[in-house]
Amino acid sequence: MTAGLYGAYGGRYVPETLVPALDALERGWESALADASFRAELDLLGERYVGRPTPLYETERFAPAGKRILLKREDLCHTGAHKINNALGQILLAARLGKGRIVAETGAGQHGVATATVCARFGLECVVYMGSEDMRRQHPNVERMRLLGAEVQAVEFGTKTLKEATSEAIRDWIANVETTYYLIGSCVGPHPYPSIVRELQAVIGREARRQVLETVARLPDAVVACVGGGSNAIGLFAGFLEDEEVEIVGVEAAGAASLSSGRPAVLHGARSSVLADEDGQVLDAHSISAGLDYPGVGPEHASLRDSGRARYVTATDQEALAAFHRLAETEGILPALEPAHALARALDLDADLILVGLSGRGDKDLAEVLGS
Amino acid sequence: MSGPEAPDLAAAAVSGGADIVELGFPFSDPLADGPVIRRAAERALAAGMRTRACLECLAATRDKVDVPLVPMTYSSLLEAYGWERFAVDARAAGASSLIVADLPVDARPDLERVQLVAPTSTDERIGLAAERTDGWLYLVTVAGTTGARAELSPALAPLVQRTRRLTDVPLYAGFGISTPEQAAAAADLADGVVVGSAALVAAENGAAALESFVAQLRSAIA
C-alpha cells in the first residue's frame, strides 16, 4: 500500500470489511476539503461554539529566570481540551457521509466528551468505548458524557484502558459499518484518519504561529507538546515544521514512551512506533495520565522522529505532578495531567523562548492529583 | 488456537471430517476477532505461545495430520518476525498457506496468502482478491468480527452470487457459522464452510467433544 504513508509508517492494516468504508471516508474528506463551505462552517463553529482563537498567554511567574514560556491555551476551548477541534470537523464529515450513529474510543474522556458534545449539537446517536480503569480515574468525564446523551460502554478486558477501548470501537465499526461513523480521537489508526486529525488540529499551530509573531515579533526557539496518540502535538507542530530554526519537542509519559522505547509494529490499523515485544505483541503502557496511557502513537510522529525534525523525550508521573502544582501556584491555571508532562520538560529545556501546548484543563484530574 | 493441545485437537477435527485446519497464532490486539477467539488468544499468549512456539506447534500438528494447515494471524507478528522469513519458516513447518486478518488485498502482493472478501467489498476488490488468493477465497459472511450468530447471515447469498460471477476459485464461507444447520445452509451456497469460534468452544471440552462436533457439521453438509 502506498497511500497514507509517512516514511515507512502509517498505511491501512484492517480487515477487508473496513476497506470500502475507509475509501468512502477518504473520498468524503477530499470532497470536504475542496468545498469552501465546509471550511467556512467549521471556522464559524470554531469561533462561536468552541471559542477560537484560543489565547497565547505568556507566563509571568512559572518560567525559571532567563526563560520565557508561552502557553497555547487549548484548555480554554469549549469542553476543556483540544479534542473538540477534531470532533467538530469529523462530525461535519459524518453528516456529509450520511451516517446517523457515531462510535468513538476515549482514554482520559476528553475525546469522549468532545464527541458526545458534537453528537448532541448535531443530533446523532453516540456510543463511546472507555476502559473501566479509565472510567474509574476520570469519572467526571464519564458523568459528562452521559449528561450529554452518550452511551458509555465499559471495556473490561486487557489493560482496561485506551488500547482496548480503541479495539472495541473499531470492532463496533466493523459490525455496523453501513450506519456508523468511527470518530477517532487522535492522529492514529488506518489511513486516512491520521491525516484528517492532523489537518483538523493544525488550527492550533497556525494560530499559535500568527500569535507569537504578533505579540513577541519572533518565532519561538522551541515548541513543546505532550504526546499520547499525538493529536495536540501534531496540531501544534504543524504550524512550525517548515521553520527549520524552531526546535520541535514531543514529551511522552515515561511509562508509555512509544517513540523513545518502542519498535515498529502494527496496532489499530497503522504501522507505527509501538511499545511491543520482539514478537510484535503489544505491551502495557503505564501513566498517571489516562490520555498518555497508550502504547502506540501517530505514524507521522514516528516519521518526524526518524527524520530528526522532531525529538521525543519523556517525563515521569512525579515530574508531571510537580509541574501541575507549579503552574497552579504560580499562574493560577490547573493543567490537565497530560500537558503537565510538556510543562515539566519545558522547565529544563535549553532554550530561551518556549511555546508549550496546554492541551487541556485539569478539572478531570483533581482526584488523581489530590490522591497522589 | 496454537497451544500444547493443538496437535491432538487438530487430529480430532480431522477424524471428525475436517478438510482443512486453521491454526491461530495469537496477537495481543486482534481487531477482527470476537470474544471467544480473543479470549483463546489471551490464554495462548499467557501460556507463552509466541511466534517461535506457534511454528513449533504447527510442525507438531503437521506430524499428526495430513490435511492442509493454515496459520491465521495479524500483521504485527509478521512485521516483527520479517514478512518473507515468516512465510518461509511457516511453509517449512508445514503450512499450506496463510491468513493475515488485517492485511487488505492490495497490500503485500508478494505474500502468498488466502484472501478474504466481505459483503462490503466492491466487485473490483473481489476480482483482485480472487486473482491473488492462494487456493481458495475466504468469504466473510457478516460485517463483523468472528463469533457465533443466531442465524446464517443474509449477506452471504448475494456475496456468493457476486463472487461467482467474477471467479471460479473455491469459495469457503466463514464467521458466525456455529451450528450444523447454519453450516448446511452455508454449504448450499458456497463450496465449503469455515467454523472457528464454535469449534474452539467445543474444544474446551476436549478432543472427543471437538471430534463429535465436527462430525455433526460434516454430516449436515454432506
Distance CA B57, CA B4 (A): 7
> Is A86:A73 a contact under the CB 8 Å cutoff?
no
| B138 φ, ψ (degrees, to nearest 5) | -95, 115
A19:B104 CB<8 A:
yes
| A251 φ, ψ (degrees, to nearest 5) | -120, 120
Q: Which of A201, A190, A186, A184 is nearest to A91 (CA)?
A: A184
Q: What does B42-86 look like in DSSP terms, one character per residue?
A: HHHHHTT--HHHHHHHHHHHHHH--S-EEEEE-HHHHHHH-HHHH
Distance CA B216, CA A326 (A): 69
> Is B3:B47 a contact under the CB 8 Å cutoff?
yes
B74 to chain A, any CB pair closer than 8 A? The answer is yes
Block means of pLDDT (10 residues each) for chain A, length 372 residues?
A: 82 94 96 97 98 98 97 98 98 96 95 98 98 92 97 94 95 93 97 98 98 98 98 98 98 97 97 97 93 95 98 98 98 98 98 98 94 88
β partners of residue A57: A71
| A212 φ, ψ (degrees, to nearest 5) | -70, -35
Q: Which residues contact B126 (CB under 8 A, 6 or more apart)?
A: B117, B162, B163, B166, B167
CA triple B27-A317-A372, angle to 5 deg: 115
| A173 φ, ψ (degrees, to nearest 5) | -60, -45
Compute the nearest-CA separation of B14 from chain A (Å).
Answer: 28
Three-class SS state of B192: strand
B44 to chain A, any CB pair closer than 8 A? The answer is no
> Is A72:A356 a contact under the CB 8 Å cutoff?
yes
- Interface test mutation site (partner B, options A9, A14, A17, max chain B beta carbons within 10 A): A17
Buried b (16+ CB within 10 A) or exposed e, B5-39: ebbbbbbbbbbbebebbbbbbbbbbbbbbbebbbe
> Is A357:A225 a contact under the CB 8 Å cutoff?
yes
Rounded to whole angstroms, what are the CA distances from A1 to A314, A319, A350, B122?
32, 41, 41, 18
Q: Which residues contact B102 (CB under 8 A, 6 or more apart)?
A: A13, A14, A15, A266, A269, B31, B32, B74, B75
Compute the nearest-CA separation of A298 from chain B (Å).
Answer: 16
- Parallel, antiparallel or unpaired: strands A263-267 and A270-274: antiparallel
Query: What are the tens digits of pLDDT across the range B16-64?
Result: 999 999 999 999 999 989 899 999 999 999 999 999 999 999 999 999 9
Q: What is the largest CA-CA distance in chain A?
A: 57
> Is residue B144 over pLDDT 80?
no
Rounded to whole angstroms, what are the CA distances from A68 to A175, A345, B172?
51, 14, 65
DSSP state of A360: B
pLDDT at A2: 58
Compute the nearest-CA separation of B83 from chain A (Å).
Answer: 12
Q: Catalytic annotation on B56?
A: no
pLDDT at B141: 87
β partners of residue A154: A130
> Is B79:A274 a contact under the CB 8 Å cutoff?
no
pLDDT at A314: 98
Burial of A47 (0-12, 13-18, 19+ CB in 10 A): exposed
B149 to chain A, any CB pair closer than 8 A? The answer is no
Enclosing H/E stretch for A11:
none
**Residues on chain A touching B77 (C-beta within 8 angstroms):** 279-281
Three-class SS state of A249: strand
Compute the nearest-CA separation of A165 from chain B (Å).
Answer: 11
- Identity at A97, one-letter amino acid code: L
Rounded to whole angstroms, what are the CA distances from A151 to A22, A128, A130, B135, B148?
24, 6, 10, 44, 25
- Identity at A357, one-letter amino acid code: G
> Is A106:A128 a contact under the CB 8 Å cutoff?
yes
B32:A174 CB<8 A:
yes
B143:A177 CB<8 A:
yes
CA triple A334-A336-A338, angle to 5 deg: 145
ipTM of this complex prediction, to 2 decimal places? 0.94
**Residues on chain B touching A17 (C-beta within 8 angstroms):** 118-121, 140, 143-144
B38:A178 CB<8 A:
no
Q: Between B31, B42, B81, which is nearest A167 by CB?
A: B31
DSSP state of A217: S
**Residues on chain A touching B79 (C-beta within 8 angstroms):** 264-266, 271, 280
pLDDT at A232: 98
Three-class SS state of B159: helix
Distance CA A186, CA A202 (A): 12
Active-site positions of A read 83, 105, 359
Query: What are the tens digits of pLDDT across the range B187-220?
Result: 999 999 999 999 999 999 999 999 999 999 999 9
Question: Which of B 90-109 lie inside 8 A of A, CB atoms?
Answer: 101-107
> Is B51:B77 a contact under the CB 8 Å cutoff?
yes
Q: Between B31, B121, B145, which is nearest A20 by CB?
A: B121
Domain boundaries, chain B: 6-213
pLDDT at A372: 85
Q: Which residues contact A198 (CB under 8 A, 6 or more apart)?
A: A187, A231, A234, A235, A238, A298, A300
A13:B103 CB<8 A:
yes
Q: Between B45, B78, B102, which is nearest A15 by CB?
A: B102
Residue pointed to by grid coordinates 474522556: A109
- Identity at A264, one-letter amino acid code: P
Question: Which of A 141-180 lie inside 8 A of B, CB atoms?
Answer: 157-158, 163, 167, 170-171, 174-178
B76:A1 CB<8 A:
no
**Residues on chain B touching A278 (C-beta within 8 angstroms):** 80
- Nearest chain B residue to A155 by CA distance is B35
Distance CA A105, CA A93 (A): 18
Of B5, B8, B19, B33, which is the active-site residue?
B33
Distance CA B206, CA B211 (A): 9
A268:B50 CB<8 A:
no
- Nearest chain B residue to A274 by CA distance is B76
Q: What does B23-48 look like in DSSP terms, one character per residue?
A: EE---SS-TT--HHHHHHHHHHHHTT
Q: Which of A144, A35, A16 is nearest to A95 (CA)?
A: A35
Rounded to whole angstroms, what are the CA distances from B204 to B1, B23, B24?
11, 15, 15
| A114 φ, ψ (degrees, to nearest 5) | -60, -40
Query: What are the tens digits of pLDDT across the range B117-135?
Result: 999 899 999 999 999 999 9
Domains of chain A, each with CATH number or no CATH: 7-43+83-193 (3.40.50.1100), 51-81+201-370 (3.40.50.1100)
B6-213 maps to CATH 3.30.70.260:
no
